[in-house]
Amino acid sequence: MKLSDLAQEISCRIESGSPELEITSAAGLDIAGPGDISFLANPKYTPQIKSTRAAAVILNDGVVGVERNDLAVLRAKDAYVAYTLALRLFFPERGIVPGIHQSAIIDESAQVDGNVEIHANVVIGRNCIIETGVRIFSNVTIYDGVNIGRDTILHSGVSVRENSEIGKRCVIQNNSTIGSHGFGYARTEDKKWLKIPQVGRVVIEDDVEIGANTSIDCSSVGESRIKRGTKIDNLVQIGHSCTVGEDALICAQTGLAGSSVIGDRVILAGQVGIAGHLRVGDDAVLTAKSATSHDVEPGKTISGVPAFDNREWLRSTAAFRRLGEMAKKLRELHERITKLEQR
């Protein structure tokens, strides 16, 4: 599309370049070619502006312009968001192709809308409800009593256990499991483990995305709930009876022990650990590899194991790097004091 049309679609203004310039795709600065639009949001990639072959670039408001007459410039409040919108324009998701593969096994009691796409070897159990626009790829297993909302996508290998509920416009990536039994055992007098029945369910609200090989356990009773708009990465474990708030972001290899309550807009970076029965307040952030065994206040950013205030943690890690030098100086001071005392 023309640069002027693209700028309007992604809420940018043209700073330089012809409005008639034809833009054919979007790509990163290092791989963009003629006709592509790119972006610069991270200052460390600024040197790539000099060598990029892109036809146009999106910059944040206030960022110093580029010194190239052959490169069109668009200005945006958030260049990364604008570039994402451009990508979505040039690479739209394909529409649904209605149909049910002949190898799919669907219980006669299931209510399956006519406008769905169901691939090979899918199994749908009793009393399930599959709404319009749902896409279910090959080898997906859906247990009895599952409800799946309109326009949701289940990629191959996904398992959805009994009585789970998945909302509208959700995406669940390959080989994830929704509603597996929670890890609950009681220890008997003879020190053996007695399995606690896991008879609850999982509720996934609208617009949730779940990465590959992630597991969300059902509750012993009641429900585990992932609220609207939350995004969950690959290889995440969410234990039984957990609640995750709206628009949270949970990155890879994070683990939530049972009955954790995660607030709205919380960010849990990679490999974060949350102990059981804890509350993480709205807008809190736990940085990568952090673990907490206590509640986290709303808006707090914490780091480390055990996690504490991020600014204090940064000062502590800076001091940790100097421990060897500090120990050496301490020994020297000890020797000097010892000599003074011996006089």
Residue 142 bridge partners (DSSP): 124, 160
Catalytic residue among 101, 240, 294, 334: 240
**Could you give the CA distance from residue 249 to residue 330 in angstroms, rounded to a whole number?**
45
Whose tokens are 């502006």? That residue is 49
Strand extents, DSSP E, 61-158: 72-76, 99-100, 105-106, 111-112, 117-118, 123-124, 129-130, 135-136, 141-142, 147-148, 153-154
**Is residue 294 annotated as part of the catalytic site, yes or no?**
no
Q: CB of 281 within 8 A of CB of 260?
A: no
Backbone φ and ψ for 145, nearest 5 degrees, come out as: 75, 20
Q: CB of 236 within 8 A of CB of 254?
A: yes
Q: CB of 228 within 8 A of CB of 245?
A: no
Spatial neighbors of 35 by CB under 8 A, at least 6 apart, are 22, 23, 24, 25, 55
CA dist 233 → 54, 76, 131, 292 (Å): 31, 28, 25, 20
* Residue 136: both structure tokens together: 């279910």
Which residues are designated catalytic?
240
